Amino acid sequence: MNIQSRVAILGGAQTVPAACRDDVRLEELVFEAAEAALADAGMERGELDTVVMAGADQMDGRSISSMMTACPAGAYLKDEIRTTVEGSYAAVLACMRIMSGEFDTALAITWAKTSESPYDRVSTLSYDPFYERPVGLSDVLDAAAVASTFPGSKSELADAARSVTVKNRANGAANPRAFLRAPVSRELLGDSPYVAYPIRRAEVPEACDGAVAVVLGSKRRAESSPRQAVWMDGIGWATGDYGIEAAPPARMDTLRAAAERAYTMAGVTDASREVDFAEVFDATPYHEIFAYEALGLVPDGAGPAFAVAGGSELHGDLPVNPSGGLQATNLRFASGLGRILEAYLQLGGRAGPVQVASPSQGIAHGATTFPAQSHAVFVMRNY
């Protein structure tokens, strides 16, 4: 065994997101992404050493759904493993497996086919049966409760949330890989009814079906890759309490812990100066604002003003979610790997109309929806 110091992304793909992919069954959707990712990396299935999946049985409506998806993901007679944490954790696990020195190449894959399931009901089932389910807690209720804990002006925060949604939907409109391609106006958002205060209907992105896959490889393997390698030089992840703690949840202490680890590993000392862009988890626009601060892109308390001033816009000082983020492409459970794929395309100069100007270092961030309990942060470089 020979511990590998560096892991690179060698290729990746996402299926075209759609509200309902009833033309394919789940396994066929998975195959589509795996086949496209391997083609993008210029690799054959035979060159894969391991397949790492992220999937959630209750959303897939199949128990141990990886039994069905492993082989269409490329794992026939190969090593495979599945995590039930969010999509970005497939990349966490794939990186670790390559770093172990046991595997030279890995395919990390995740999927969302929520058109088949009653998402709100499924989401409620993640909650505690004694204390939380009877009260009806779900992803959106929790996100709203978390938003209420932000220690600043409520109206300033709501205004900033509108800026974020307008920005992300505009980026999505320009991004050929996004699901929601129509921009929204600040007025439309202001008129949108509340789902759960302070979150408005138009701030909860419509979900879509799709699968995302990236091919990763060791340093040695990357040297013979036909494409520009993008290095996963910092990886950090952390899990917080199941529930809301005394510390204001909007501080996202778990994300702070994950980011600190990723930055330490990559040698990033000041993300606000060293990072060229970030792709973050924005299940609601509030999540994105909290992430600005927790990722250290702006000082604490400065998140809302940064959003309103346009700092995170496509051509702003530090573009955040140039892809449009989840606000434009909400692959529930799978969006973290989507952030990694978009960051990978940015760093390879392949992001198309939403390309940021010659980036060399970016951040990708994935999180679970349940009060953002688990977070993973990646520092990615093209040098």
In the bound state with another protein, the residue whose beta carbon lies nearer, of 209 and 293, is: 209
Nearest approach, Cβ of residue 133 and another protein (Å): 8
Residues 209, 16: Cα–Cα separation, whole Å? 9
Nearer to another protein, 38 or 376 (CB): 38
Q: Which is nearer to another protein, 118 or 193 (CB)?
A: 118
Query: In this complex, which beta carbon is closest to another protein, that of residue 111 or of residue 290?
Result: 111
Q: Give the nearest distance from C-beta 130 to another protein in angstroms.
A: 6
Closest CB 300 distance from another protein, rounded Å: 41
Copy the structure tokens of residue 184.
């929204």
DSSP annotation of 229 reads P
As a dihedral over the C-alpha atoms of residue 38, residue 40, residue 43, residue 44, rounded to 10 degrees, the angle is 40
Q: What minimum distance in Å lies between the beta carbon of 71 and another protein?
A: 4
Environment class of residue 110 by beta-carbon count within 10 Å: exposed (0-12), middle (13-18) or buried (19+)? buried
Give, in degrees to the nearest 5, the angle at Cα 88 between 81 and 92: 60
> Alpha-carbon distance 151 to 202, whole Å?
24
DSSP state of 124: H
- CA dist 277 to 13, 88, 311, 372, Å? 20, 18, 11, 21
Residues 337, 343: contact at Cβ < 8 Å?
A: no
CB of residue 338 to another protein, shortest distance in Å: 21
DSSP string, 235-303: EEEEE--SS--SS-GGG-HHHHHHHHHHHHHHT-S-HHHH-SEEE---SSHHHHHHHHHHTTSS-TT-H
Residue 23 beta carbon to another protein: minimum distance, rounded to whole angstroms: 5
298: left (phi over 0), alpha (psi -120 to 50) or beta: beta
Task: Decide: 133 and 124 in contact? Cβ < 8 Å.
Answer: yes
Query: Minimum Å distance from CB 13 to another protein?
Result: 14
C-beta of 23 vs 270, nearer to another protein = 23
**Residue (64 or 125) nearer to another protein, CB:** 125
Interface ranges with another protein (CB under 8 A): 20-28, 31, 34-35, 38, 44-45, 58, 61, 71-72, 74, 76, 113, 115-118, 121-122, 125, 129-130, 133
When the beta carbons of 28 and 300 are compared against another protein, the nearer one is 28
Residue 211 CB, nearest distance to another protein (Å)?
A: 13
Closest CB to another protein among 61 and 267?
61
Q: Residue 70 — φ and ψ, nearest 5°? A: -60, -50
